[in-house]
Chains A and B, each alone.
Chain A
Amino acid sequence: MTRAPQHPTRRPGAGRIARSAVTRLLGGGSTTVFALLIVIFVGIFTMNPAFAQPPSMLAFAKQAAPLVVLAVGQYFVIVSGELDLSVGSLVGAQVVIAAALIDGAESRTVPVLLLMVAFGVLVGLVNGLVTTVLRVPSIITTLGTMLVLYGAIRLWTGGAPTGALSEAFRRAGRGGIEGVPVVGQLPWAVLIAAAIAAAAVALMRAPYGRVLMATGDNDTAATYSGARVWRVRTTAFVLSSLLATVAGILIGGFAGVTAQVGEGLEFMAITAVVLGGVVLGGGHGAVIAAVGGALAMEALFTLFIQFDLPATIQPTVQGLIIIAAVAYAARRRSTHPS
């Protein structure tokens, strides 16, 4: 339903195509978020024409990259019918772990990166297995993981993050390919986020993605069709934690180490996914729409800056927009079940 309607089998007339395009754009589904994105960008360009320059756009993309990565991870979990509240804490934990273990030594970058990946997989496995095997609702499981990570990291570092990141570590978040014509620097973060988005699209078309979608839609039916629901969902949690690790690497490189890093990111990611028309409860929505949702969120914050709104009013507008977007999508679901 949130997916774009299927093409009719008979050859459509021009009017029909136009109508179907309008339906898609306004339907509250995957395409709508891109329409919203374009509207926001038109707003930004009107306020500040200089923003349309490629370097500014790339800077925007670079800033949006971590949220895009997190949204893709959250998408896997949400579409399988669950929820991951632990990603914000995990991002914070990973950055703090990296800083404490690398402690400025370039040579330790790669081993620590491997350790972080292993830690991410471990957190995802715990989330997934507790949710599926012990049957604890995922909101409680991941809330628990969030508390545990939050406390454990501060316990370990004594309240304030210690150490420093190495230059090599920060390159992913800060650096890029220099000397690219037109745009200047092509940031690694943008390339990484784009690659992850492309891989996610491919994964959702692969058998795993189909089973994941079926599981979120109706896990009873999926079980009867031979899907190992617990394994599929656990994998989704592991993917989410892995991508949170990647986002942590990008954010750590971009913004450095603070005690607050990662705070509130779980709700940002969930909002982005939902803004993309992905239904909480699973089984509906495209991964590319979740990416669109993340971009729309970041664009919205950029627009706030252009309007010179006090930063403190941002949550209010953000809250109103989420409610409006979801209500809009729900209105269509309830009135025209097509």
Chain B
Amino acid sequence: MTVSVAASTPASALGTVRSGLGRMGTTGVVYLALVGIVAAGTAVAALNGQNLLATANLVDTLTRSSLLGFIAVGQTLVILCRSLDLSVGYVVALSSVVAATTMAGDPARIWLGVVAVLAVSALIGLVNGLVITKLRVNAFIATLGMGLVIKGYLDTLYQGPAGEVPVAFQVFGYTRVGVLPLSTAVLIVVAVLAIVFLRATRTGYHMYAVGGDAEVARMSGIRVDRPVITAHVLCSVAAGVAGLLIAARFGTGSSLVYGSGYELESIAAVVLGGTYLLGGRGGVAGTVAGVLILAVLDTLFNVVGVDPFFKDVLRGVIVITAVAIYARRGGGTAHPPRFSRGAHQRPPAPDAPPGTGAGPAAEHRPDTTRPARDPTATAKDHADPAGRGGRT
């Protein structure tokens, strides 16, 4: 079992070199892009008589990145499992309310508030994971539905700010050491923990395996539901931490932050960081760079005084462009519909326009990342008629 598991993970000895190049390559490119954007941004800011690297701007950038960072790190785990979490924005809002109402301005209840937030968000993640794996509801619908459920709860019970966060806890939002805000330091710790988790634990390996190909993972003896459920629990807890941060910054619970679109922004940050939207490839390090890129751009726009609406336009263009570039670099693996699980999975298809052809795409695909491609295809060809209603 261990052997086959190892063989179906990107970090296998078999393809360490190539997959290492492939994976690190993308992460490398993301960090390169980050450096490039910082350099270009500094130049642009300098032309406007501003200094992007001034302490205030650095603090601003890092503060911005920490909130989205927590959510995006969690989202990375979920996406690696070929799942998706659209409920994180609502979990953030709910967590801020739970934190503020539980703490109720009493410093002695801070730990109680933190525990309550972690418990509530873990429970939400558990429900998400169970609905997706046991009830076989696809992740898009399950987490969208969960988001709506939380939205209804918040809208009904909390119309405005709720609760009060004691000053002692607000240090989480405002303290900084040098240019490094405390929240960013916590984010770094969380990100490092996530990287270690993915690289050094069995469940972390299983996440790559399940995301790469659930059917092969299952045939290799992995209980495919467990990594998915774990990823959803961790993702929700990460969103819960982001909610704590919001509560600490605002000093109160704000139920309306779900309107900020964190779920889609976090997905954008994850794919910007080079993680493959269809699972099995990528990592947290890239995501952190993706979050930083978005934060640097935001700060730059603020410094230069770009119209806030223009930010949305640029952000959309940047995300599309980045993913298009990765699609090219990553061997142009054609994307199968991502919203399928179990019997509906199918091998990536050469839906390239005529002329490009399927050949190059197939050759370029880093076969090390999905070593068991062929058996899968065969298994699916056999499985399809049965699963598709063809058994007549």
Write the residues of chain A forming the contact surface with B, with a CB cutoff of 8 angstroms.
1, 6, 81-83, 130, 132-137, 139-141, 143-148, 150-152, 154-155, 159, 215-220, 223, 228-230, 233, 267, 270-271, 274, 279-282, 310, 312-320, 322-323, 326-327, 330-331, 333-334, 337-338
Contact = CB atoms under 8 A, between A and B. Distances in A.
A331 B324 CA distance: 36
A230 B328 CA distance: 16
Contact of A315 (B155, B334, B358): B155
Contacts of A133: 353
A216 B344 CA distance: 11
B363 interface: no
Nearest to A280: B339
Interface in B304-358: 307, 309-317, 319-320, 323-324, 327-328, 332-340, 342-344, 346-347, 349-354, 358
Interface stretch (B23-31, B130-138, B181-189, B243-251): B130-138
A-side interface mostly:
helix
B320 A130 contact: yes
B388 interface: yes
Contacts of A280: 138, 140-141, 337, 339-340
A261 to B, nearest CB: 16
Interface of B: 131, 135-138, 140-142, 144-149, 151-153, 155-156, 264, 267-268, 271, 277-278, 307, 309-317, 319-320, 323-324, 327-328, 332-340, 342-344, 346-347, 349-354, 358, 384, 386-389, 391-392
Contact of B271 (A135, A140, A150): A140
Contacts of A218: 346, 349, 384
A109 to B, nearest CB: 27
Given A137-B335, A230-B351, A270-B144, 11 more contacts: A6-B392, A130-B320, A134-B328, A140-B320, A145-B320, A150-B312, A151-B312, A216-B337, A280-B138, A281-B138, A312-B155
B353 A145 contact: no
B152 A315 contact: yes
A320 B351 CA distance: 36
A137 B311 CA distance: 22
B351 A219 contact: yes
A143 B309 contact: no
Given A134-B327, A145-B316, A316-B148, A323 B387 contact: no
Nearest to A314: B152
A148 B316 contact: yes
B351 A319 contact: no
A121 to B, nearest CB: 19
A317 B151 CA distance: 10
A137 B145 contact: no
Contacts of A6: 392
Contacts of A274: 141
Nearest to B307: A155
A239 B202 CA distance: 46
Contact of B358 (A223, A270, A310, A319): A223
Nearest to B385: A337
Contacts of B312: 147-148, 150-152, 154
B320 A136 contact: yes
A223 B349 contact: yes
A220 B338 contact: no
A319 B146 contact: yes
A267 B140 CA distance: 10
A327 B135 contact: yes
Contacts of B319: 140, 143-144, 147
A141 B350 contact: no
6 contacts: A135-B324, A135-B332, A137-B271, A220-B349, A223-B349, A229-B349
B148 A315 contact: yes
Nearest to B351: A229
Given A220-B346, A230-B352, A151 B323 contact: no
B311 A151 contact: yes
Given A314-B152, A326-B138, A330-B136, A83 B350 contact: no
Contact of A144 (B316, B343, B389): B316
A331 B135 CA distance: 7
A210 B290 CA distance: 40
Contacts of A217: 388
Given A1-B388, A147-B313, A327 B137 contact: yes
B151 A316 contact: yes
Contact of A151 (B144, B310, B338, B352): B310
Contacts of A146: 316
A327 B323 CA distance: 32
A130 B358 CA distance: 18
B71 to A, nearest CB: 16
A248 B338 CA distance: 29
8 shortest interchain CB distances as A-B pairs: A316-B152, A151-B312, A319-B148, A147-B316, A281-B340, A312-B155, A1-B389, A280-B339
B350 A323 contact: no
Given A220-B347, A319-B146, A322-B144, A151 B386 contact: no
